[in-house]
Amino acid sequence: MDYFATLGTGIVEHWPVWLVTFTLILAAVIDGARLRVPNWITFPLILSGWACGGLWFGWAGLGASFAASVVGLLLLLPAYAIGGMGAGDVKLLAGVGAWMVLMLEACDLSVSPTSAMFVSFGISAVVGAVIAIAMTLWRRAFAKHANQFWMILGEILTIRNPTQLAEIAADRKPSMLLLPYGIPIAIGTIAYFCWMGMLL
């Protein structure tokens, strides 16, 4: 009974964290099934985060919420620009950023929203790499996709033109193993919440 009482109190007091957590889980399930995160999840997440930041903390809160969402956007924008992931994944991380100010405040954590975004992104990137390796091993196609990785890295280092890289990636996409990146974002971000004690 004490556990459920603690859980109930945590949900009430840390409701922004739980709201984002449930949204991330929903996005991950849909992305896993359809290989896309729909706009009806990402846009409301971003806009409501900005609105709540402004309502709770005024213009300063709105500005901080907007800045954190821009950080989330910029962290994944390079991968999107070269065709490495979908726009929905980028907007999902921006939505997490939009709520980060309110989530940290609800948990009484004196952590910079920008720092929190970098750490949760870093965890997500590690999770994504592990899942990608596991997928290639499961399909017994590690050598093929490892060669594709080195080829893509070489293109990035030599071509350096996002438009041209995106065109090359679009041509190569049918032969690539697609990772629904909403899943690593959800796992990495929720892992960050757990590590920081933000859920309870």
For residue 78, the model assigns a pLDDT of: 81
> Contact 183/29 with Cβ under 8 angstroms?
no
| Rg (the chain; Cα; Å) | 18
Nearest CA to 19 out of 55, 45, 57 is that of: 45
Whether pTM > 0.95 for this model: the answer is no
Provide the angle, in degrees to the nearest 10, between the axes of the packed helices 15-34 and 2-13.
90
- pLDDT tens column, 9-55: 667 788 999 999 999 999 999 999 999 999 999 999 999 999 999 99
